[in-house]
């Protein structure tokens, strides 16, 4: 619903804008070009409009069309058109502005950045890409925003090497601020190489990923999986256990591979020691269930059931409960068995309906571990969900 208070605020802001615009036109030519008063005013309006309604934007666009004589006005007008999906109008507003001979170099770059946003929103990725690449040949105040926009294009196109190169080559950009992102780009290249069975290229990119971010769990999981597939089980187990220090939330992701490695090494003792350590410091359903499987092999189902029951009391878990019911179904007959199967179906369905991973930035959740969040597009912000319905 339209908020009368918001409308009042916008109308007061527009009135203030006309007043400032009137005063500014009477000031010197230099001040008019810099548009310093308007900058502040339009930044404020942009902020106000974050909670806007369509009607409010429309009235604002009309107000700006009448008063469109400064660079800031044109930029805000173009942004509003873009926000409403009227990309052609946005492109027109920004191209008109670019044609002005009075623009300084910095102002021209600011308008080009807006134009690049328009092209990308319109799906004209190639045009946006080449505009941004040209803009990054010289240092300027908007270099970081330009790099981030260009990276979003390369990410859509899965051009990981180009993304890496632009971070290193862009003028006026500190590549150290992008280390975390760079590590993920190298992981993408490593995964692509492994799909083509190019182990050397994969290893090279994993080394580079660790050089950028030594605690990158994704690179650790890829390397652990690679070593395991090459039957280097001891090395794989060594690599995967690093997750304990890197980010214990991801221990659960490494458990299936670790079980495979220790089994191949005939080392129940090695697995038992590691799981025991995890259980003490960073307990999760995956660790409890892997421990229970180990106990079942060594001491039988009854002991494994006792262990799970003990753990569920300490730390309630739907996955643990399911495993406990499964063990009891195996050793029960007749009516009690049927009842247990019914209960198991219900708890299974309950677990099935729950997400497994969640982004810590925007809350996007689902059953797939996305290293780049599909909603907020941040890298490495999605984690396994802990607690009774998760790990
Ligand atoms: Zn997110």
- Cα of 345 from ligand 1 centre, angstroms: 32
Q: Which of 164-178, 197-211, 245-259 has the lowest mean pLDDT?
A: 164-178
Residue 35: pLDDT band with limits 50, 70, 90: very low
Same domain? For 100 and 33 the reply is yes
- How large is the average pLDDT for residues 156-173? 93
Q: Provide the pLDDT for residue 7.
A: 47
CA distances from 267 to 173, 237, 259, 340 (A): 49, 11, 10, 34
Q: From ligand 1's centre to the CA of 382, what distance in Å?
A: 7
Q: Of 145, 173, 201, which residue is a domain's last?
A: 173
The per-residue pLDDT of the chain, averaged, comes to: 86
Q: Is 278 annotated as a binding residue?
A: no
Q: Is 376 annotated as a binding residue?
A: yes
CB 288 within 8 A of CB 311: yes
Q: What is the mean pLDDT of residues 171-184?
A: 93
Check: CB of residue 255 under 8 Å from CB of residue 286.
Answer: yes
Cα 388 to middle of ligand 1, angstroms = 22
Residues 252 and 161 in one domain: no
Instruction: Flag whether pLDDT at 13 surpasses 70.
Output: no
Contacts of 193 (CB under 8 A, 6+ apart): 199, 201, 202, 205
The pLDDT of residue 154 is above 90: yes
How many angstroms does the Cα of residue 371 sit away from the middle of ligand 1?
Answer: 10
Residue 52 lies in a domain: yes
State residue 151's pLDDT score.
97
How many Å lie between the centroid of ligand 1 and the Cα of residue 370? 9
Q: Do 222 and 118 fall into the same domain?
A: no
Give the residues across from 357 on adjacent strands: 366, 384
- The CATH number of the domain where 390 resides is what? 2.20.28
pLDDT in tens, 98-111: 888 888 888 899 99
Output 45 or 263, whichever has higher pLDDT.
263
Same domain, 123 and 257: no
Tell how far the Cα of 273 is from the centroid of ligand 1, in angstroms: 35
Which residue range forms the structural domain that includes residue 287? 283-353
In the reported structure, the alpha carbon of residue 29 is separated from the centroid of ligand 1 by a whole-number distance in angstroms of 46
Residues 198 and 178 in one domain: yes
Pairwise pLDDT comparison (102 vs 279), residue with the higher score: 279
Q: Exposure string (b/e) for 352-382, b if CB count within 10 Å is 16 or more?
A: eeeebbbbeeeebbeeeeebbbeeeebbbbb
Position with higher pLDDT, 11 vs 58: 58
**Is residue 321 within 8 Å of 347, Cβ to Cβ?**
yes
> What domain count does the chain have?
4
Question: Of the ranges 72-76, 234-238, 383-387, which is most confident?
Answer: 234-238
- The strand order across the sheet containing 365-366 reads 365-366, 357-359, 382-384
Statement: residue 47 has pLDDT above 70 = no
- Over the stretch 324-371, which tens digit does the pLDDT of each residue have? 889 888 878 888 888 888 998 998 898 889 999 999 999 999 999 999
Q: What integer pLDDT is reported at residue 52 of this predicted model?
A: 56
68 falls within a domain: yes
Q: In the prediction, which pLDDT does 36 show? A: 44
Cα(199) to ligand 1 centroid in Å equals 31
């Amino acid at each position: 619903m339209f908020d009368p208070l918001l409308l009042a605020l916008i109308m007061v802001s527009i009135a203030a804008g006309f007043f400032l615009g009137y005063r500014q036109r009477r000031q010197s030519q230099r001040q008019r070009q810099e548009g310093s008063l308007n900058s502040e005013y339009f930044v404020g309006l942009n902020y106000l409009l974050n909670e806007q309604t369509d009607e409010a934007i429309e009235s604002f666009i009309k107000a700006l069309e009448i008063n469109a004589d400064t660079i800031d006005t044109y930029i805000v007008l173009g942004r509003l058109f873009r926000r409403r999906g009227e990309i052609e109008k946005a492109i027109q507003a920004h191209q008109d502005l670019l044609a002005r001979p009075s623009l300084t170099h910095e102002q021209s770059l600011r308008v080009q950045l807006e134009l690049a946003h328009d092209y990308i929103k319109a799906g004209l990725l190639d045009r946006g890409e080449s505009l941004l690449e040209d803009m990054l040949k010289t240092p300027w105040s908007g270099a970081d925003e330009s790099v981030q926009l260009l990276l979003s294009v390369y990410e859509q196109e899965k051009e990981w090497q180009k993304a890496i190169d632009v971070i290193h080559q862009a003028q006026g950009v500190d590549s150290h601020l992008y280390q975390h992102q760079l590590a993920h780009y190298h992981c993408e290249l490593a995964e692509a190489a492994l799909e083509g069975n190019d182990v050397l290229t994969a290893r090279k990119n994993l080394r580079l990923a660790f050089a950028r971010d030594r605690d990158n769990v994704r690179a650790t999981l890829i390397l652990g999986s690679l070593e395991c597939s090459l039957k280097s089980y001891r090395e794989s187990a060594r690599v995967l256990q690093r997750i304990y220090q890197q980010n214990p939330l991801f221990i659960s992701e490494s458990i299936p591979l670790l079980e495979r490695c220790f089994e191949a090494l005939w080392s129940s003792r090695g697995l038992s020691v590691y799981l025991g350590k995890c259980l003490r410091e960073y307990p999760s359903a995956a660790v409890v269930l892997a421990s229970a499987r180990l106990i079942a092999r060594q001491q039988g189902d009854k002991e494994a059931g006792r262990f799970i029951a003990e753990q569920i009391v300490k730390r309630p878990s739907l996955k643990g409960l399911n495993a406990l019911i499964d063990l009891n179904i195996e050793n029960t007959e007749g009516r009690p068995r049927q009842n247990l199967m019914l209960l198991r179906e219900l708890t299974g369905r309950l677990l099935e309906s729950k997400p497994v991973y969640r982004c810590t930035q925007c809350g996007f959740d689902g059953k797939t571990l996305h290293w780049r969040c599909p909603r907020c597009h941040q890298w490495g912000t999605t984690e396994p969900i802990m607690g009774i319905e998760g790990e």
